[in-house]
Structure 1
């Protein structure tokens, strides 16, 4: 239960200091509040941080919490359609628990107890999150990533591990090019073996394995991946790196079980072929996905319809024959200091602009800002009494979440619930995608509002 997060409802009974209600964590209080004189604040509830109009009481929030946490709280949005507190799982994007995320926690706890990892950031590609989360998001087949996982966790079945367990057999490296007897360890296979040294030197990745024996191989692999990702053409370099590790492992297996011997040039050619095969498969997968997305979708029940307009995905609520509507282009800008701005431009049925607007807001992420922008546009249109509305955005991930093509991120789930509550205000409501360069006016308004 300690990893469960909470989304406050309008009738929230969450304790400010005990519950993980700030995007899955408990906000940190100001140092002066730790004084016993402020013990009366111990029963403070989240709903007491709101003003009468259900917006955050910014001065109170900044008084109670440290600056970074206070700004994150003020940037968050309350779901007006949810009265009770809701549970969510903060370690997944959609807020739903998965075995994979639970395994990541078990992995962390195991290594912390074992003492292998003293700092969580040491096993993270970016200093945040879990090693497993970053690993599985890398390009490449899962088999390659599983191999890296086993290297990091020291669970590969190599000769040295058999020898430690008193298992009889030949425990020396079978793929060494020299006729010398080296114990088959994970470090030797992927770093110290004569074949490995030649393969890394010929891979053109800029990686040198000589003279790094003082650094554990698991840490070195993470550092190499971080280094390759930041380089030009980083995705392909990471693929080559993963393919090289996989090639060395399969070569070792062939040497052990089949007695095969491979020279470095042949192995390097095989590695390049594996990378090309993967990239070709990904291109075909992308083409297939775009083809499926470009096909008209059947009715999904009720008055909701998925369709295609001008080659872009559209999501409509209402009768398809009621197509006469105003068109509003909306965009949002966001910066890492949580400052954001939204801008929108409204066009009539003849394509003539008749109104526009912008506003500075705070948001937790770019996706959050885009969702707030769409919500603001729909609230504006409902207040004006428009019955036929098409909302146009350049944020395809958010549109896919609205239409049900993709899972909903827990940060915007409450906003999308409020959006659905406004559907009844319209006879026909549509969402469509537009390229960024065709949404320049709304983008300019949002950028200018963000800088105010």
Structure 2
């Protein structure tokens, strides 16, 4: 560990003058724990939280290298790129772009429309200007108006034919004042506006994308099929595509509802209705509650509730120091297994509503901040005959959630 707080305390103390030379000097050597009074006395509250929320594994294992800027702890080109963007102050722009594409890829648009939008915004369509740049001999003029060069801006927005299409569409967009805006920004601005107002499943987003697609199809019909149709066919084609798309969505929804109805009896039941497939198995729900206050000092609590053969066996909660909600959830799972071990339970089934923690327990790649916690969780599981950790819903773990919130608020059960 080579953090800045190892060398000099933030409140002015020189660590070496008080006998702190290494990270181990901040620990109580007899029980593998942080020396909490010393840490709070020497460091600022914010740094103390960072130190105390670093989990010290109780099991001995070989040190491993991990990339702290990555959620998985593994070094990836993507994470290095994000790190450099952050240093240059360009991360917000990159994150906004990532959020835009995440929404587009997650939308219910047809795959070929999504790929078309990606190619359009990355200037990867075979317009005349793009072909000429690649030394392909084509005439530069627009196939619609035959007056100006055909680039992305002109073909999809600035050409008088395209401008009339936009004005005559259901969106009624006037493009006269948009010619100074690059097409990529113009497209993204409209899509983000529609998503903001209409949310993810915006009908206006679909209308906008299909209008662009219809303009492209009309242009290609002229180029490759020599079909010189009336430009009004663009709006007609768009309306047909939208109608087919809507009918396809309705058919899929009807099919989905029918499938759900026919298999409803086979759906997963709540934990409270699951019969114990083995005598004396302990069913436990765990949860964590984490909140960052205005002074940036987080407060966290964990809770657990266990039952055996349908009868409440034990429950509890605890206040912890954690740096994130993810770490709090991992602490809850660890404490739940530990409490079951203390009571001599041999068959355990734990339910947590944290997808990330449950997935990480069975994966060789785990988030950096909970890597040591996961190592101890795996070690504790080996002490049971059976120990399953499963994903549950928020309603499944509601008892543990209430206990965790109470602990975060300083209310502990006896």
Q: TM-score, normalised by structure 2?
A: 0.70
What is the match of residue 340 of structure 1?
A: 300
What is the match of residue 443 of structure 1?
A: 401
1:154 aligns with 2:123: yes
What is the match of residue 423 of structure 1?
A: 381
**For the Cα contact (< 8 Å) 2:348–2:388, is it kept in 1?**
yes
Please state how far the C-alpha of 1:74 moved relative to its aligned partner. Answer: 4.7
- Give RMSD over aligned pairs: 5.0
For each residue in 1:325-354, what CA deviation from the matched residue of structure 2 results, as whole angstroms up to 9, or x when unmatched?
2222212223355543222212232x2224
**For the Cα contact (< 8 Å) 1:360–1:450, is it kept in 2?**
yes
Task: Classify the secondary structure of the residue corresponding to 2:177.
Answer: coil
Distance 1:245 1:94, change over 3 A: farther
Distance 1:256 1:323, change over 3 A: farther
1:257 aligns with 2:257: no
What is the match of residue 329 of structure 1?
A: 285
Distance 1:276 1:325, change over 3 A: same
For each residue in 1:151-200, what CA deviation from the matched residue of structure 2 results, as whole angstroms up to 9, or x when unmatched?
444343322233456643122333x4xx4523222222333345544555
Q: Distance in 2 between matches of 1:243 and 1:57?
A: 61
**For the Cα contact (< 8 Å) 1:205–1:237, is it kept in 2?**
no
With a CA cutoff of 8 Å and minimum separation of 6, indicate the structure with the bigger relative contact order. 2
Please state how far the C-alpha of 1:51 moved relative to its aligned partner. Answer: 5.3
- 5 Å-filtered alignment, 1:111-122, equals 119-122=90-93
Distance 1:438 1:309, change over 3 A: closer
Task: Classify the secondary structure of the residue corresponding to 1:124.
Answer: helix
Please state how far the C-alpha of 1:287 moved relative to its aligned partner. Answer: 11
Distance 1:311 1:331, change over 3 A: closer
- 5 Å-filtered alignment, 1:356-371, equals 356-371=315-330
Q: Distance in 2 between matches of 1:439 and 1:196?
A: 56
The structure richer in helix per residue is 2
Please state how far the C-alpha of 1:119 moved relative to its aligned partner. Answer: 3.4
Distance 1:149 1:105, change over 3 A: farther
Please state how far the C-alpha of 1:421 moved relative to its aligned partner. Answer: 0.6
**For the Cα contact (< 8 Å) 2:218–2:234, is it kept in 1?**
no
Please state how far the C-alpha of 1:142 moved relative to its aligned partner. Answer: 5.7
What is the match of residue 22 of structure 1?
A: none
Q: Distance in 2 between matches of 1:62 and 1:210?
A: 66
1:234 aligns with 2:200: yes
What is the match of residue 149 of structure 2?
A: 183
Distance 1:361 1:66, change over 3 A: closer
Q: Which has more radius of gyration?
A: 2
Task: Classify the secondary structure of the residue corresponding to 1:256.
Answer: helix
Can you give the 5+ residue segments of structure 2 that lack an aligned partner in the other structure?
none
Distance 1:31 1:348, change over 3 A: closer
What is the match of residue 346 of structure 2?
A: 387
Task: Classify the secondary structure of the residue corresponding to 2:382.
Answer: helix
What is the match of residue 87 of structure 1?
A: 66
- 5 Å-filtered alignment, 1:160-239, equals 160-164=129-133, 167-174=136-143, 176=144, 179=145, 181-194=147-160, 196-197=162-163, 200=166, 209-237=175-203
What is the match of residue 8 of structure 1?
A: none
Distance 1:367 1:242, change over 3 A: farther
Q: Distance in 1 between matches of 2:38 and 2:211?
A: 55
Q: Distance in 2 between matches of 1:105 and 1:279?
A: 42
Q: Which moved more, 1:442-451 or 1:188-197?
A: 188-197
Q: TM-score, normalised by structure 1?
A: 0.65
**For the Cα contact (< 8 Å) 1:371–1:415, is it kept in 2?**
yes
